[in-house]
Amino acid sequence: MRFLCTNDDGILAHGLDVLARAAGMIGEVTVVAPDREQSATSHSLTLHHPVRPVKRGERRWQVDGTPTDCVILAVQALMPDKPDFVLSGVNHGQNMGEDVLYSGTVAAAMEGLACGIPSIAFSFAGADLRAEVSLLDHQVELIAKLLRHLTSLDRIPRDTLLNVNLPPLRGQKVEGVRLTRLGTRHFSDSLQKMADPWGRDIYWIGGGKVHWTGDRDDSDIRAVQDGFVSVTPLHLDLTHHRMIADAGQWWRDL
C-alpha cells in the first residue's frame, strides 16, 4: 500500500515523523510536506508565485507552499504512482468542531479526496503541547493499528474523509475508538492588542480561551475528554440539505 504523508506544521514537525513511522509499518511512505509552519492556512492554494520541491531523501520532499500545494504536487508530479491513501498530520493540536474550517491538516485530506484518493487527517488533541508532544512517541503502535483498520474498510463513502483526534494519553491508556460528530466551540479573548517597537498598534490573532458548547455524548470533544480516539467522517458538500427540503413555500414566494 502506498501512502502520501503531509501536514501543516512543516516537514520538521515531530507529528509528521510519528505518522510516517506508523504508516511505514503497513506500506510505502512518501513524504511531501511544507517547508515551514502552515497551520490555519486551511485549503489555500499558491497561485501567484511558483512552488519549488526540494528532495530531502528517498521519497521525501519539502515544498515552499501550503498543505494543499503539497498534495497536488505529490499526486500530479512527484509520485510515480498515485498513493492509495493521503494521510495528513499528526497535527500538533486538536482539530475538532470548527477547527476543521481553519485547519491545514484537514484541508490536505480534503485535497486528497478532491484528487479521488481516500484520505485521513490525524491530530493530537493535547492541551499543553510542549509538555505532551513526547506522548506521540507512545502512540505510534496505536496509529498503525488504527491505520490498518481504517485502510481495510470498504464502506467509507467516496466523498468522505476521516478526521481523527488522538487523546493526550500513552497508547495503552487509550480507552478505545468512537465514531463521532463535530462538536461546537467558540474562542474568547483570541485577539490581542499590542504595540510594535515604535509604539504603533498591532493585533495578534490567537491564544485566548476555548469554550465547548452544545456538547453531546457523540461529539469529538467528548470522546477525547473520555480518553477515546475520535474518528469523525467529514464530507465536502456544505449544502444545507434540510433547508432545501424544508424551503417549500418560502422559496416559491420569492
**Applying CB under 5 A, which residues contact Mn ion?**
8-9, 39, 91
Within the chain, residue ranges assigned H as helices are: 14-24, 67-73, 99-102, 104-114, 129-132, 140-150, 220-225, 241-252
| Helix runs in 52-134, H state only | 67-73, 99-102, 104-114, 129-132
Closest approach of Mn ion to the CB of residue 39, in Å: 3
φ, ψ dihedrals at 244, nearest 5°? -60, -45
For residue 244, the one-letter residue type is I
Provide the minimum distance between the beta carbon of 124 and Mn ion in the complex, in angstroms, as a whole number: 10
> Whole-number minimum distance, CB 57 to Mn ion, in Å?
22
Nearer to Mn ion, 95 or 151 (CB): 95
CB 93, min distance to Mn ion, A? 6
| Residue nearer to Mn ion on the CB measure, 50 or 65 | 65
Residue 9 vs 69, nearer CB to Mn ion: 9
Closest Cα to residue 18, out of 220, 171, 228, 222? Answer: 171
Q: Which is nearer to Mn ion, 36 or 149 (CB)?
A: 36
Nearest residue relative to Mn ion (C-beta)? 39
Q: Which of 128/253 has CB closer to Mn ion?
A: 128
Beta bridge partner(s), residue 121: 88, 163
Nearer to Mn ion, 13 or 140 (CB): 13
**Separation CA 186–CA 33 (nearest Å):** 29
- Copy the grid coordinates of residue 129: 503541547
What are 2's strand-pairing partners? 28
Nearest distance, CB of residue 17 and Mn ion, angstroms: 14
Least distance to Mn ion, CB of residue 125, Å:
12
